[in-house]
Chain A
């Protein structure tokens, strides 16, 4: 329907973005009628997301013509931005930005580096940056989920944690059940994506490869490769993130720092 009304690619794109945003806003209104307030966070996130992706698209247009090595800087900048974004999910947790950035760098960064060296990801900037950004974005989501869950679990179990400390347990083992729980919970989306691949959804990358003339079997296999890389990056990020943050919620004298109301 929109294609009949808008003929220019830019106008069509804006109309499609408006339609998608209206669908999201409808969800916000339904949620509000049930007493769940999402409007502020979602409106800001959507506006930010649109401005950012258009800005990045414009910059990429210039950068994608540059030499391959510039992709290292682009990916590094993305990791720092991802660290800052997911650290916001860990309100009140000490050094959340440093933990998030290190975790994403270790998780997504190492998978990108190894897979590029192995030739699984091609080195041209037009491939490395989009595929790398997918891994970083998923690692960011996983990290945010892990920290958010860990924070909620620790705050809900202050009594149990301090009981363990009072009985002579060290800080790490006192929070160990919540480290494990948050790591597992943060990986649910990545595991479900792998599990439902091809049955519940056909990812955009595969659709794009098919549209650009790739053989369907290769497109399917490469999509699996990307999702497996996403799982590896997310899993490593979650492990590093939860292991780093568990030491940050304890003082050197093994006192729980993260407490309700702080």
Chain B
């Protein structure tokens, strides 16, 4: 039987006392927070503070050693990992596109559950990230910014309920960074998909997120509305 907590209005994801330790090292400890529909939550902190480790726990790429996550009120350990990762999409610092065309990359996720993404579906996703007409291009010929926008479209092809963004612009030049930030804002504004953004860039957090939590040595030391948290 699935452990289900009636989610509060608009609540999509809730991490409860989430933690992970490896040997004697604590990577994340007692992280409790919520992500609501239509909002972007920024996780900010210095290098090595456990931001990415925390993010990887949210789609269960790593196993928590304490606590759990509720997705739409259901304990995520009761959701099959493949289904969970379809529902909780992820975009990483590097795009890691698969060899082949842009369209083949977008079809990857749906194909895992036996679905075929139509040409019009691909075009729509690409238009959403400002890359209309790129479907037949070989990924080897894309710029860093274009590749990252394809990775956004690829994650969106799975129709996720939440998007996890792990420093998605940190490997990009200024112009590409602005393009990707525009994509992030439009995904939130037009599709209403909530997100969790890991960044060490406080200014970027202020531009993209409504709420933030500050992580230090794996622990949340502050959380709340973005302006309050960053001002403190």
| Chain A interface residues (CB < 8 Å from chain B) | 159-160, 162-170, 173, 251, 253-256
Contact = CB atoms under 8 A, between A and B. Distances in A.
| Chain B contact patch, size range | 20 to 34
Contacts of B154: 167
B85 A165 contact: yes
Contact of A169 (B82, B83, B92): B82
Interface stretch (B42-50, B54-62, B190-198): B54-62
Contacts of B155: 166-167
A160 B154 CA distance: 14
B96 A159 contact: yes
A159 B93 CA distance: 10
A167 B112 CA distance: 8
Nearest to B113: A168
6 contacts: A162-B92, A163-B92, A165-B85, A169-B108, A254-B82, A255-B81
B31 interface: no
B158 interface: yes
Q: What 5 pairs between A and B have smallest CB-CB spacing?
A: A168-B86, A163-B96, A166-B90, A167-B109, A168-B112
A162 B61 contact: yes
Which of B82, B86, B155 has the most chain A CB atoms closer than 10 A to its own CB? B82
Nearest to A256: B61
A167 B108 contact: yes
A256 B155 CA distance: 20
B68 to A, nearest CB: 12
B167 to A, nearest CB: 13
B63 A166 contact: no
A170 B59 contact: no
Nearest to B77: A253
Contacts of B62: 255
Given A166-B59, A167-B109, A168-B109, A160 B96 contact: yes
Given A167-B154, A170-B82, A253-B60, A159 B94 contact: yes
Contacts of A168: 82-83, 85-86, 109, 112-113, 158
A164 B60 contact: no
A255 B56 CA distance: 10
Given A159-B92, A166-B89, A255 B112 contact: no
Contacts of A170: 82, 112
Contacts of B83: 168
